[in-house]
Amino acid sequence: MKVINNNIFFKGHYLNGERDGEGKLYFYDGRLLFEGNYKNGERNGNGKEYDKDGEVEFDGEYKNGKRWNGKGFEYDDEGNIEFDGYYIEGEKVEEN
Total domains in the chain come to 1
> Contact, 44 vs 32, CB < 8 A?
no
Angstrom distance (rounded) from CA 46 to CA 39:
11
* pLDDT confidence of residue 72: 82
Instruction: Kindly report the CATH number assigned to the domain that includes residue 30.
Output: 2.20.110.10
Confidence bin at 96 (pLDDT 50/70/90): low
Handedness of CA 1, 27, 4, 91 (dihedral sign): positive
Domain that holds residue 75: 2-94
Q: Is 4 in a helix, a strand, or coil?
A: coil
Mark 10-35 as b/e (b = at least 16 C-beta within 10 Å). Answer: bebeeeeeebbeebbbbeeeeeebbb
Mean pLDDT within 8-20: 94
Confidence bin at 95 (pLDDT 50/70/90): low
Mean pLDDT within 20-44: 95
Q: Is the pLDDT of residue 5 over 80?
A: no
Handedness of CA 9, 82, 66, 72 (dihedral sign): positive
Q: What is the pLDDT of residues 60-83, one digit of tens each?
A: 899 999 999 888 888 888 888 888
